[in-house]
Structure 1
Amino acid sequence: MSQRAFLYNLQFIDNQIDKILDRIASIDTKINSNQEIVESENILKSIQAKFNLKKAEISELESQSNILSKILLQNNNALYDGKIKNPKELQSVEDEGISLNKRIKNLEDRIFDMMLENELIEKELNNQMEIHQTLSRNKKNEIDELNSEKLILIESLDKLRIEKSPIEKQIKNELLEKYAMLRETRSKMAVAVISENACSACGNIITPAEIQKIKSPIDEYYCQICKRILYYN
Structure 2
Amino acid sequence: MNVGFQLFQLQSIDSELDHAQNRIKEILTAIETDKNVALAKKRVETMEAELRKIKSDFETIDYETDQKKVKKAQSEANLYSGRIQNPKELQDLQAEIASLNKMLGELEERSLEQLEKLEKAEEKTSVLQNELNKVMTDFETGKSRLIAEKGNLENTIKNLSAKRSSQETQIPEEQMKIYVRLRNLKNGLAIAQLQDSSCSACGSSLTAGECQQVRSSSQLFYCTSCGRIIYGS
TM-score (norm 2): 0.79
Kept in 2, the 8 Å contact 1:192–1:199? The answer is no
SS in 2 for 1:125: helix
3-state secondary structure, aligned to 2:220: coil
The answer (yes or no) to whether the contact 2:193–2:230 under 8 Å persists in 1 is: yes
Amino acid at match of 1:105: G
Matching residue of 1:222: 221
- State the Cα distance separating 1:181 from its structure 2 match: 2.2
Change (3 A) 1:162 1:38: same
Q: Which position in structure 2 is the counterpart of 1:40?
A: 40
Q: Structure 2 matches for 1:93-104, cutoff 5 A?
A: 93-104=93-104
1:84 and 1:72 mapped to 2: Cα distance? 16
The answer for the alignment partner of 2:161 in structure 1 is: 161
Show the counterpart of 1:204. 206
- Residues 199 and 73 (structure 1 numbering): CA distance in 2 closer, same or farther, change over 3 Å? closer
Superposed displacement of residue 121, structure 1: 2.4
How far, CA to CA, are the matches of 1:120 and 1:31 in structure 2? 35
Partner of 1:130: 130
Measure the CA separation in 2 of the matches of 1:2 and 1:166: 16
Identical positions, percent: 23
CA–CA distance in 1 between the matches of 2:61 and 2:214?
Answer: 97
- Structure 1 partner of 2:26: 26
Q: Any conservation in 2 of the 1:193–1:232 contact (CA below 8 Å)?
A: yes
CA root-mean-square deviation: 3.2
Task: Tell me, in whole angstroms, the C-alpha distance in 2 between the residues paired with 1:83 and 1:212.
Answer: 119
Q: Which residue identity lines up with residue 9 of structure 1 in the other structure?
A: Q
Alignment correspondent of 2:17: 17
Listed as ranges, the gaps of 5+ residues in structure 2 are none
CA-CA distance at 1:178 after TM superposition: 0.7
Deviation at 1:164, TM superposition (A): 0.8
Letter in 2 for 1:221: L
Judge conservation of contact 2:11–2:191 (CA < 8 Å) in 1.
Answer: yes
Q: Contact 2:24–2:153 (CA<8 Å) still a contact in 1?
A: yes
Change (3 A) 1:79 1:150: same
Aligned residues: 229
Change in CA separation of 1:187 and 1:199 when aligned onto 2, cut-off 3 Å: farther
Instruction: Tell me whether 205-214 or 93-102 shows the greater mean CA deviation.
Output: 205-214
For 2:183, the aligned partner's letter is R
- SS of 1:129's equivalent? helix
Q: CA shift at 1:7, angstroms?
A: 1.9
Structure 1 residue 153: deviation in Å?
1.0
- Aligned equivalents of 2:98, 2:187: Cα separation in 1: 89
Aligned 8 A contact 1:183 1:189 in 2: yes
Cα distance change of structure 1 residues 191 and 35 upon mapping to structure 2, 3 Å threshold: closer
Q: How does 1:35-184 map to 2 (within 5 A)?
A: 35-184=35-184
Q: TM-score, normalised by structure 1?
A: 0.79
- For residue 203 of structure 1, report the CA deviation from its aligned partner: 4.4
- Counterpart of 2:141 in structure 1: which amino acid? N
Residue 214 to residue 96, structure 1, CA distance change in 2 (3 Å): same
